[in-house]
Amino acid sequence: MADQDHAEALAERVRDAHQRRQPLRVRGLDSKAFYGRRVDAPQLDVSPHRGIVRYEPTELVLTARAGTPVSDIEEALAANAQMLAFEPPSFAASASIGGAVAAGLGGPRRPWGGAPRDLLLGCTLLDGQGRILHFGGEVMKNVAGYDLSRLMAGALGTLGVLLDVSIKVLPAPKVERSLVLNLGYERALRLMRDLARQPAPLSGAAHLDDRLYLRLSGNAASVEAWQKQIGGDVGSGTGFWRDLRDHRLPYFAGEEPLWRLSVAPATPRLDCEQSVLTDWGGAQRWVYTRCAASEIRAEVAKNGGHAILFRHGDDEIPVFHPLDAVKQRLHQGLKQRFDPHGILNPGRLYPSM
Amino acid sequence: MSAQPRELRRDALARRLRAVVDGPHVLSSEAELRPYECDGLSAYRVVPLLVVLPGSAEEVQAVLRICHDERVAVVARGAGTGLSGGALPHEDGVLLSLARLNRILAVDPDNGCARVQPGVRNLAISEAARPHGLYYAPDPSSQIACSIGGNVAENAGGVHCLKYGLTVNNLLALDLVTIDGERVTVGGSGLDGPGFDLLALATGSEGMLGVVVEVTVKLLPIPQRAQVAMAAFADVESAGQAVADIIADGILPAGLEMMDNPSLRAAEDFVHAGYPIDAAAILLCEVDGGNEEVSEDIARVRQRLLDSGASEVRTASDDSERARFWAGRKAAFPAVGRISPDYYCMDGTIPRKHLPRVLREIARYSEESGLRIANVFHAGDGNLHPLILYDANNAGELELAEQVGGRILELCVEVGGTITGEHGVGLEKINQMCAQFPPEELQMFHDVKAVFDAHGLLNPGKAIPTLNRCAEFGAMHVKAGDLRFPHLERF
């Protein structure tokens, strides 16, 4: 598909939908269609709006239309030895950069490289009235006005339709090496937390089935030095991390409800973690469990975290962690201001917004 | 209430507030109020109706409930080091000082975080974390004095932002009190929270959306080693090129600072850092990380600097020389303060490639206005601090300096940048907001504000201009990258 600017056409559709109070299911390449509550509405397909608008490697900024495939961007960056530091997951053959930002998900590098919200410098969006608005910019530091661009990251298209995004990009590490250590859960968690306190060049730390997987990124000498210090076997390269990022490991093959727990990384194994893949050095846990949703959420909340029913849920259980009364009011207020008729992905994040 | 004389209003409100905050911490006499009349931008001064210093988050809630009930404006203040007038009091409002909320509640090395009250000084966090081999990365130049609550309100930066990010990238959670006195936690104990990213929205909101009563910051391992190179250049273009070449080589410096001749000269006279005073510009480039990494990176930095035409490159031979190289940069503002009775510090950010053009234009403004301008530049992230030198005792010079400052900020917007990189809009840059944002975007800011604060009681008149104000100011919105008069030559 050719690079094309469809901003006006998309704006026209949203203006029309606003007038007719017609809900829209906003989509890019639809690789994360499973994520969030179902939206039964005609779709607004952003994927034809694609192409890298500006990319100057020495400015460390890339601006792309929302429908641009992440793979196109990664290719352009790789040609300049740069990368998307948030390592966006791709759950299908192809994912769009707009979807990656709207979903707000980060890959295994997230604790060190940041999430989409950390790298997002600015965006152009359509609000629920079809107005084209621009927040943030293409510079690293910008505190003029409220940070409404970062607010879009993770909002799942419920506050606005992303048209283009400007992202801080970073140099790719010169050397990456995977290490595998045979360790049970408790000892692996201990080691991950110990390493997080040292200036080790970590870019991945995950545990599954009595094996701790570590990824080191940096220059050759530094990676070499830390590999010696940590020990373990040298793993089989980038494959494990890509499969972890994209949920292609056999662990994710089941059709059971898959929970994502976000907790303080040193939190000991929770009762509900009957089957768990621990990522992000302990801060993100992919869990299959027999516990009821309410038990899971209570246990995680007690530890200051939140739980998402990431995949294979039914329509009964809320996907996202319920909000307290104050946050609920703020969420509804924001939704109302950005999308007064509630036409953008209604209910995808929370019912009634 | 506003129909009553000021003294009566003051007494009545003080009585109500003294019921929830210990008497001595509600200040109401002229002599007590005077020290709070300005923040770091001392050109603007307003004596507040009252100053309240609550001693706990619960007291903050109680104070806000009363103010909400009475429809009294509230301006939150941390250490008062801000440079944009964000903590300038409201003459009929309460100045809410968070200075007494100054406890470090917990340092949690296992989870790489610390829970602190808003009045804790930025540097105190790193000091408390140091025994664990950890530190808090954002380091605004005022870090010995500024408070973390103020850092959150301004989304403060510092010299290490390119590699380590701004305040927003180094927070895990905030506890906010809304204007109606409700406490809410945004973010979470992990790396994200549920729902919209209210943590990002609150950060940098300049005290307009809520009052921060607790902050959970991310702590990072202290790098094994840091090393700095200083390079001199005969022209600014080569210095700019050197920055691009270092980045293109895949190096992400921990700090990358540029000073032009007037600022490096002032700094050299002041602290004798060993800067070459004939250089048109100097660059300071610091790399940090593991021992092996730093050795390799600093060698490459040195080579890139030489390749891009540096007339001289010096690598600090030990920690004391490294400290001396930085001392000049860190003393740049006071150094300029020595050569001029007053100076006005600007804070635009630009795409780095436009630096030569922007500096040429600034030199032209300097010539036209007769005011000297020294430039200090966070070169890695494009954040430019022109210091406009003036003498407030000469009639009209402050106004002239403000005019020149306004032109510089509009120039930053023209080249695709922003009017403020890290100091905030406050009161100072509120007119220039009209140049950066068209009415519908400003309206969206007001709409967001109304969600949090329907009566506009938190820090009224700051950060976001009313549409009427923009109409009066007459500024034309400058769309990023589009010049207003494209047919005119610009040098």
Q: For residue A45, give the CATH number of its domain.
A: 3.30.465.10
CA distances in angstroms from A69 to A98, A109, A134, A347, B392, listed in the order given: 9, 20, 22, 26, 56
Backbone Cα Rg of chain A:
20
What does the alpha-carbon distance between residue B231 and residue B256 come to, in Å, rounded to a whole number? 11
Nearest-CB residue to B201 (from A61, A147, A198): A147
Nearest-CB residue to B451 (from A142, A305, A330): A330
What does the alpha-carbon distance between residue A332 and residue A346 come to, in Å, rounded to a whole number? 12
Q: Which of A138, A171, A204 is the endpoint of a domain?
A: A171
Q: Are residues A167 and A182 in the same domain?
A: no
Structure tokens at A310: 């990431």
Residues of A in contact with B425 (CB under 8 A): 143-145
Q: Are residues A58 and A144 in the same domain?
A: yes
Structure tokens at A267: 């939190």
Q: What's the confidence (pLDDT) of residue A235? A: 84
| CB interface of A with B, residues 262-291, below 8 Å | 262-267, 280, 283-284
Instruction: Say if the Cβ atoms of A137 and B184 lie within 8 Å.
Output: no
pLDDT band with cut points at 50, 70 and 90 for residue A237: confident
Q: What's the confidence (pLDDT) of residue A104? A: 98
**3-state DSSP assignment of residue A11:** helix
Within a domain: A351:
no
Q: Are residues A201 and A161 in the same domain?
A: no
Q: Are residues A85 and A187 in the same domain?
A: no
Q: What's the confidence (pLDDT) of residue B472? A: 84
Give the nearest chain A residue to B430 (CA atoms): A144
CATH number, domain of A222, equals 3.30.70
Q: How far is A190 from chain B (nearest CA, A)?
A: 9
Q: How far is B118 from chain A (nearest CA, A)?
A: 20
Give the closest residue to B71 by CA, choosing from B95, B98, B49, B93: B93
Strand residue runs (E) in B308-364 = 312-315, 342-345, 348-349
Instruction: Say if the Cβ atoms of B248 and A57 lie within 8 Å.
Output: yes
Within a domain: A320:
no
Q: Are B54 and B100 in contact (CB under 8 A)?
A: yes
Q: Does A236 score more than 80 pLDDT?
A: no
Select from B196, B213, B432 the residue whose CB has the most chain A CBs within 10 Å, as the one to mutate to test that interface: B196
Q: What's the confidence (pLDDT) of residue B43? A: 87
Task: Count Cβ atoms below 10 Å from residue B79 Cβ, excluding itself.
Answer: 25
Read off the pLDDT of each residue in A307-323 and give the average, rounded to a whole number: 95
Give the closest residue to B162 by CA, choosing from A334, A128, A133, A119: A119
Tell me the domains of chain B and their CATH numbers. Answer: 6-97 (3.30.43.10), 104-221 (3.30.465.10), 225-334 (3.30.70.2190), 341-473 (3.30.70.2740)
Within a domain: A159:
yes
Q: What's the confidence (pLDDT) of residue B490? A: 31
At A272-294, the pLDDT tens digits run 999 999 999 999 999 999 999 99
Instruction: Say if the Cβ atoms of B155 and A147 lie within 8 Å.
Output: yes
Residues of A in contact with B182 (CB under 8 A): 326
Q: Are residues A67 and A132 in the same domain?
A: yes
**3-state DSSP assignment of residue A320:** coil
Q: Work out the mean pLDDT of chain A and round it to a whole number.
A: 96
Read off the pLDDT of each residue in A178-196 and give the average, rounded to a whole number: 97
Select from A15, A118, A143 the residue whose CB has the most chain B CBs within 10 Å, as the one to mutate to test that interface: A143
Residues of A in contact with B454 (CB under 8 A): none
Q: Which of A216, A245, A274 is the endpoint of a domain?
A: A245
- The helix (run of H) or strand (run of E) holding residue B256 is strand B255-260
Inform me whether the C-beta atom of residue A305 falls under 8 Å from chain B C-beta atoms.
yes
Task: Count Cβ atoms below 10 Å from residue B438 Cβ, excluding itself.
Answer: 15
Q: How far is B11 from chain A (nearest CA, A)?
A: 33
Q: How far is A216 from chain B (nearest CA, A)?
A: 12
CA distances in angstroms from A59 to A54, A68, A122, A206, B337, listed in the order given: 10, 20, 15, 32, 32
Q: How far is B296 from chain A (nearest CA, A)?
A: 8
Q: How many beta-carbon pairs below 8 A join chains A and B?
A: 276
pLDDT cut 70: percent of chain A above it: 100
B378: left (phi over 0), alpha (psi -120 to 50) or beta: beta
Instruction: Say if the Cβ atoms of B423 and A304 lie within 8 Å.
Output: no
Q: How far is CA A32 from the centre of its chain?
A: 11
Nearest-CB residue to B292 (from A139, A222, A336): A222
Q: Are residues A137 and A69 in the same domain?
A: yes
Give the closest residue to B113 by CA, choosing from A212, A301, A193: A193
Q: Are B348 and B384 in contact (CB under 8 A)?
A: yes
Instruction: Say if the Cβ atoms of B252 and A171 lie within 8 Å.
Output: yes
Instruction: Say if the Cβ atoms of B204 and A110 lie within 8 Å.
Output: no
Strand B348-349, strand B383-390: pairing: antiparallel
List the Cα angle A15/A19/A23 in 5-degree steps.
80
Record the pTM: 0.96
Instruction: Say if the Cβ atoms of B293 and A221 lie within 8 Å.
Output: yes
Instruction: Say if the Cβ atoms of B196 and A221 lie within 8 Å.
Output: no
Within a domain: A70:
yes
Select from A109, A110, A146, A198 the residue whose CB has the most chain B CBs within 10 Å, as the one to mutate to test that interface: A146
Within a domain: A158:
yes
Q: How many domains does chain A have?
A: 2
Q: Are residues A14 and A26 in the same domain?
A: yes
Structure tokens at A263: 């907790």
Q: How far is A93 from chain B (nearest CA, A)?
A: 27
Structure tokens at B310: 């540096």
Q: What's the confidence (pLDDT) of residue A352? A: 84
Within a domain: A288:
no
Q: Does A94 score more than 90 pLDDT?
A: yes
Please provide the DSSP assignment of B65-83 as one string: HHHHHHT--EEEESSS--S
Q: Does A238 score more than 90 pLDDT?
A: no
What does the alpha-carbon distance between residue B260 and residue A187 come to, in Å, rounded to a whole number? 53
Q: Are residues A79 and A150 in the same domain?
A: yes
Task: Count Cβ atoms below 10 Å from residue A106 Cβ, excluding itself.
Answer: 28
Q: Work out the mean pLDDT of chain B and round it to a whole number.
A: 93
Within a domain: A329:
no
**Which of A39-76 are b and which e, b meaning 16 or more Cβ less than 10 Å from the residue's Cβ?**
bebeebbbbebbebbebbbbbbbbbbbbbbbbebbbeb
Inform me whether the C-beta atom of residue A349 falls under 8 Å from chain B C-beta atoms.
yes
Give the closest residue to A59 by CA, choosing from B238, B303, B350: B350
| CB interface of A with B, residues 149-188, below 8 Å | 150-151, 153-155, 159, 170-172, 174
Give the nearest chain A residue to B166 (CA atoms): A141
Residues of B in contact with A148 (CB under 8 A): 201, 444-445, 448
Instruction: Say if the Cβ atoms of B293 and A139 lie within 8 Å.
Output: no
Which residues form the domain of A86? 7-171
Q: Are residues A211 and A145 in the same domain?
A: no
Q: Are residues A45 and A155 in the same domain?
A: yes
Q: Are residues A142 and A34 in the same domain?
A: yes
Residues of A in contact with B112 (CB under 8 A): 196-197, 265
- Interface confidence, given as ipTM, is 0.98
The residues, any chain, with a CB within 8 Å of residue B128's CB and separated by 6 or more, are B104, B107, B114
Inform me whether the C-beta atom of residue A110 falls under 8 Å from chain B C-beta atoms.
yes
Nearest-CB residue to B445 (from A57, A145, A199): A145
Q: Which of A122, A154, A171 is the endpoint of a domain?
A: A171
Task: Count Cβ atoms below 10 Å from residue B410 Cβ, excluding itself.
Answer: 20
Q: Are B376 and B329 in contact (CB under 8 A)?
A: yes
Inform me whether the C-beta atom of residue A218 falls under 8 Å from chain B C-beta atoms.
yes
Instruction: Say if the Cβ atoms of A337 and B251 lie within 8 Å.
Output: no
Inform me whether the C-beta atom of residue A227 falls under 8 Å from chain B C-beta atoms.
no
Q: Are residues A17 and A124 in the same domain?
A: yes
Nearest-CB residue to A221 (from B169, B292, B383): B292
Inform me whether the C-beta atom of residue A193 falls under 8 Å from chain B C-beta atoms.
yes
Identify the segments of chain B with pLDDT beneath 50: 1, 480-491
Within a domain: A332:
no
